[in-house]
Amino acid sequence: MTGIDEPIASAPATRWRFVLGSALFVSGLFCPAFIPLLGYFDLPTSWLTALSGFFLLGLPEVLWLGAAVVLGREGFSKLKSGLWQLVRRHALPTTTGPVRYRVGLVLFSIPLLIGWLLPYFSELLPFYEKNRIVIALVGDGVFLTSLLVLGGDFWDKLRSLFTFGARATFPER
């Protein structure tokens, strides 16, 4: 009789462990995003430096280690395969259409141009000084989004910039 009850009792525990481990893993990914918020606290510079380092290098690793312990080998493999399937399916299509490519190029170019021009013209924008961090985070988000919109072929183009023997080939019209 106990052999029949064990799978039923262990199924919710396995699901609970997977949800908790996944939450710990994702929390570790987002820890560095909270570093700019530390500037709003009235703390000494040494404390801010130590906390920033902890949010960047200490806390994510502790959370990931906790996720690995909670998930176990099978749960971690399941999480890893699920994340890779999600990235492959939605984020990195091999080829994109012309409209998606043009939208991706606009998204790619705007943060680069703003990041290049803003230091020269920041005095003309009165809201810039108070919102520097927000503007930088939005620009980074748009830039990363553009890489996902542009697709896998664009990643190959970027990779070829850093490969010595790579040559550009242009399609004939």
Q: Are residues 105 and 85 in the same domain?
A: no
Band of pLDDT at residue 12, cut at 50, 70 and 90? low
Distance CA 91, CA 79 (A): 17
Q: Are residues 59 and 132 in the same domain?
A: no
Last residue within a domain, chosen from 72, 91, 110: 91
Torsion of CA 35, 40, 46, 52, to 10 degrees: -10
Identify the pLDDT of residue 171.
Answer: 81
Residue 156 has pLDDT above 60, yes or no: yes
Q: What average pLDDT does the chain have?
A: 81
Last residue within a domain, chosen from 71, 91, 111: 91
Q: Are residues 129 and 108 in the same domain?
A: yes
Last residue within a domain, chosen from 60, 91, 122: 91
Of the chain, the end-to-end C-alpha distance in Å amounts to 72
For residue 167, is it within any domain?
no
Identify the pLDDT of residue 90.
Answer: 64
pLDDT: is 35 or 92 the higher one?
35
For 101-117, what is each residue's pLDDT tens digit?
899 999 999 999 988 98
Distance CA 114, CA 139 (A): 8
Distance CA 80, CA 21 (A): 12
Identify the pLDDT of residue 112.
Answer: 92
Which structural domain, as residue segments, surrounds residue 11? 2-91
Provide the number of structural domains found in the chain: 2
Identify the pLDDT of residue 78.
Answer: 84
Residue with token string 């939450």: 23
Cβ–Cβ < 8 Å for 91, 148: yes
Residue 83 has pLDDT above 50, yes or no: yes
For 88-145, what is each residue's pLDDT tens digit?
776 666 677 889 889 999 999 999 998 898 888 888 888 887 888 888 888 899 998 8
Q: Are residues 56 and 118 in the same domain?
A: no
